[in-house]
Structure 1
Amino acid sequence: MIEILQIKERIAAEHYRDANSSFELRMMLMDVASLLTARQISNLRQGRDPHVSTILLETFGNVKQYYFVLEKTKDVDLACYNKTKDAVVAELDSLCQQLKGNVFQLPEENIPALKIAQ
């Protein structure tokens, strides 16, 4: 989940600079798709929650659609770039919210001990 949050933050921080910006965003979407695929395969191999698999596959499908929207538009279409970027960030945020229930949270009193281990 940390990787998903990192990619989401990277995408959110991106801004349209020139015609290559759409290409760069498409490459980030490919990173997201690869990560979601790896998580899905890992989830299936370990026999984990099938609901998580469903969520990962739905998000993958949506990211794939956003990729194709960017690919079909002109590289200088700023409105499409911004809409797609915002939609992907919202999609990844939604995924993180849905997966949050599956993540074990440590009490804050244990965190200093973990910092020492680092």
Structure 2
Amino acid sequence: MIDVQQIKERIAAEQYRDTNSCFELRMMLMDAASTLTTKHIANLRQGRDPHVSLVLLRAFRSVRQHYFDLEKAKEGDQECYNNTRDAVVMELANLCQQLKGNIIPLLVENPSELKIAQ
């Protein structure tokens, strides 16, 4: 989940500079799609929650669609760039929020127990 968060932050920080910006954003979207696919496959192989796999696949499909939308856009289409970037950031933020619900918090009564792990 941390890597999805990092990808989201990297995409959110990107700004349109020139016509190469669209290519760079597409590469980031490929990275995001690859990460989502890897997480989905790992989830299936480990026999974990099928709901998580479904959420990951939906996010993958959305990112893939945004990639194709950006690829079809005219060269230098800044509005499409901004819309795509914002939509993907929202998609990844929603994914992180949904996955947070699947994390079981560990309650530690004695904080010194955590120092052993450090």
Same fold per TM (> 0.5)?
yes
Q: What letter matches 2:22 in structure 1?
A: S
8 Å CA contact retained: 1:40, 1:56: yes
> Which residue is 2:2 aligned to?
2
Indicate the residue corresponding to 1:91 in structure 2.
91
Paired position in structure 2 for 1:21: 21
Deviation by residue 1:34-64 (Cα, 9 ceiling, x = unmatched):
0000000000000000100110000000000
TM-score (norm 2): 0.90
Please list every run of 5 or more consecutive structure 1 residues that lacks an aligned counterpart in the other structure. Answer: none
Structure with higher Rg: it is 2
The RMSD of aligned alpha carbons is 2.1
Would you say 1:75 and 2:47 are equivalent positions?
no
Quote the sequence identity (%): 63
Give 5+ residue unaligned stretches, structure 2. Answer: none
**Cα distance, 1:99 vs. partner?**
0.4
| TM norm structure 1 | 0.90
Q: Give the 3-state SS of the residue equivalent to 1:53 in structure 2.
A: helix
Cα separation, 2, equivalents of 1:3 and 1:43: 15
- Aligned-partner Cα distance in 2 for 1:35–1:77: 27
